[in-house]
Amino acid sequence: MTGDTDDETRPDGGTVDAEGADEVALDPWGSSSVSDYRKLFEEFGIEEFDELLEAVANPHYLMRRGVIFGHRDYRPVAEAMRESEPFAALSGFMPTGDPHIGHKLVFDELIWHQQQGGDAYALIADLEAHSARGLSWAEIDGHARNYLLSLLALGFDPEEGTLYRQSEEREVQDLAFELGAEANFSELQAIYGFDGETDVSHMQSVVTQMADICYPQLEEPKPTVIPVGPDQDPHVRLARDLASRMRFFGVTTAYASFEATDEELDVLETAYDAREHYADDPEVPRCVEAAAWLAEADVEDGPALESVLEKLENAGMEPIRPRTRLLDRRASEAAFEGLIDAIEGEKRVFEGHVDAFDLEAAEARALAREVELEYDGYGFRAPSSIYHRFMSGLTGGKMSSSIPASHISLLDDPEDGYEKVKSATTGGRETADLQRELGGKADECPVYELYAYLLAGDDDAFATEVYEECVGGERLCGGCKEQAAVLMREFLEDHQEKRAEVEELLEETGIELESPRRG
């Protein structure tokens, strides 16, 4: 966690970063970092997790401490957990090196969702590693085994969850083919910056990742969360779009036979609500009456108002009346007829949609999914996501696998892990006296991050104690690093013992550990 000392500080030691940081660029294959997490809320529409925290039963400590800082549409997952309804969690691991403490964040998030009753899916993104990073299949096999051993050692239950490799899961590849029909090169170019030099396999791996994200819903549509770092948000946004495009039907609101944008719907709602002021018969207000009133009313002028006026005038004497519209997106003729038959009450049928007057939007969405599934559709729900902060490198700056001293591998010798922490950069002052007088800068300290993200475990009181002692000047860096180094050594010793214990369990999972592919 970074930020100046006068930034707003969370009680547990997290920070709200200062404004004016570098512009945010999210690259799933680059070495992304985020200086100002608020820019993700402003520029990409990621929602703040703090606002949702109370809705999560038994939240993970990463949620409580603000390490998980953002989400997309996590409410359905939180509700499913509270109501003991089906939900799923999935994350993929690109086996390009040893698993490290940064990966442990995702392992923990996935395992926690499984422990809350979710269907957990963990995949090895070997097609992505081969196409985007150029690793050989032999290299991938070795790294994949290490990722899986650490996942199992940390508590993933393979009997209750699903483990697979992209290259070996035919259902994922078949789904990727179907999803690929809904995407095009221009879209991938805009999202990922692909150009004429991008190889086709790399593009294909993107569509495979979209299939991974939708895979938990193949048997049954259900809320599904993807725990990732913010650099993976482009994948989540595309997956949400493709899941929507695969749906047979869309559901929206309308006031007349014509289509309207969200901005236009706001204007139409204003006109409908004011019908007592202009309609000869307020029970049946007419479009031309609404247009005449809007033209004179004190309504904010702009493109939406202009387009609504034109549409209302063209609609003439058609009544303006709210209704739920079910759009035919990609349904077969039989499925569309099935939808029409399933809608009870007053309705009007058009060539590409049905207007239902006695059906609320939520009911319409449930009915549309029910009909879609009856006619062999997928019925996908848009996948959700949660985002965790990037860990700082132990040497300052970004954590990088190319700089061994900057990160701790889960395979590091415990003594090496101890020494790395002892040698880490801190947020301490220049002298012990200044530290006692001014307090340390825990918000800028990679060692404090180790406590908050890993070493304090589920003990919030301990994490808070470390933070408060640091910023209060009671805790000096030498003793703090020694304590963290000992805890890190103990963690690595324990984790590696557990890795050895689950070797046999890994063999029993049936996942392909040696790829038959060449190259």
- Residue 33 has what pLDDT? 53
268 phi and psi angles, rounded to 5 deg: -65, -40
Calculate the dihedral angle through the C-alpha atoms of 426, 429, 433, 438, rounding to the nearest 10 degrees.
Answer: -110
Q: What per-residue confidence (pLDDT) applies to 397?
A: 72
The pLDDT value recorded for residue 29 is 42
Determine the distance from the C-alpha atom of residue 83 to the mean position of all C-alpha atoms in its chain, rounded to a whole number.
21
Domain residue ranges in the chain = 38-247+381-388, 249-374, 404-508
Going by CATH, does the domain composed of 404-508 fall within 1.10.1740.10? no
User: What whole-number distance in Å separates Cα of residue 118 and Cα of residue 88?
Assistant: 5
Per-residue pLDDT at 19: 33
Task: Write the burial class of residue 11 (CB in 10 Å: 0-12 exposed, 13-18 middle, 19+ buried).
Answer: exposed
One digit per residue, the tens of pLDDT, for the chain of length 519 reads: 222 223 322 323 333 332 333 455 545 545 455 556 677 767 778 899 999 999 999 999 999 999 999 999 999 999 999 999 999 999 999 998 899 998 999 999 999 999 999 999 999 999 999 998 899 999 999 999 999 999 999 999 999 999 999 999 999 999 999 999 999 999 999 998 898 888 999 999 999 999 999 999 999 999 999 999 988 999 999 999 999 999 999 999 999 999 999 999 999 999 999 999 999 999 999 999 999 999 999 888 889 999 999 999 999 999 999 999 999 999 999 999 999 999 999 999 999 999 999 999 999 999 999 999 999 999 999 999 999 998 888 887 777 666 777 889 999 999 999 999 999 989 888 889 888 999 899 988 999 999 999 999 999 999 999 999 999 999 999 999 999 999 999 999 999 999 999 999 999 999 999 998 876
Cβ-contact 226, 236 below 8 angstroms: yes
Cα 460 to Cα 12: distance, rounded to the nearest angstrom: 7
Domain spanning 38-247+381-388: CATH 3.30.460.10: no
Read off the pTM.
0.87
* Cα–Cα nearest to 187, from 126, 128, 237: 237
